[in-house]
Amino acid sequence: GAVVSQHPSRVICKSGTSVKIECRSLDFQATTMFWYRQFPKQSLMLMATSNEGSKATYEQGVEKDKFLINHASLTLSTLTVTSAHPEDSSFYICSARDRLAGGSNEQFFGPGTRLTVL
């Protein structure tokens, strides 16, 4: 149980294009999902918290107009990198909390999406 998928697993795009990454909770419902970014040899940095049916909460320094987050259902959140540039190349990982997990704050992680912007 508690499986989170991401699609695509890898994407290469030209500078200036937009890329959408999907994060799905496969066997549970998630009112809250999180998006992290990891640069080479660095740790995971939280970008934003995605809440079902409401606006995402962005961490300081993350441009909300560049990284569009939509959490339209209890099992799907999407991250769109708009007008991507080479400096956006990174490993993007999502996670989700089980709505029915009670007091547990455990986060289940997707396998990540490697974005390369040429």
Partner 1 sequence: KQEVTQIPAALSVPEGENLVLNCSFTDSAIYNLQWFRQDPGKGLTSLLLIQSSQREQTSGRLNASLDKSSGRSTLYIAASQPGDSATYLCAGSGNTPLVFGKGTRLSVIA
Rounded CA gap, 92 and 110, in Å? 9
Q: What is the b/e burial string over 77-104, where b = at least 16 CB atoms within 10 angstroms of the residue's CB?
A: bbbebeebeeebbbbbbbbbbbeeeeee
Kindly tell me which of 14 and 41 has the beta carbon lying closer to partner 1. Answer: 41
Alpha carbon 1 to chain centroid, angstroms: 20
Pick the stretch among 12-20, 36-44, 62-70, 80-88 that binds partner 1 (CB under 8 A).
36-44
Q: Judged by CB under 8 A, does residue 90 bind partner 1?
A: no
Among 43, 53, 61, 102, binds partner 1 (CB under 8 A): 43
The residues facing 24 across adjacent strands are 5, 76
**Which of 18/45 has CB closer to partner 1?**
45
**Does 23 interact with partner 1 (rule: CB under 8 A)?**
no
- The backbone torsions φ and ψ at residue 32, rounded to the nearest 5 degrees and listed phi first, read -130, 130
Count of positions on this chain that bind partner 1 (CB under 8 A): 20
Footprint on this chain of partner 1 (rule: CB under 8 A): 34, 36, 42-46, 49, 93, 95, 104-112, 114
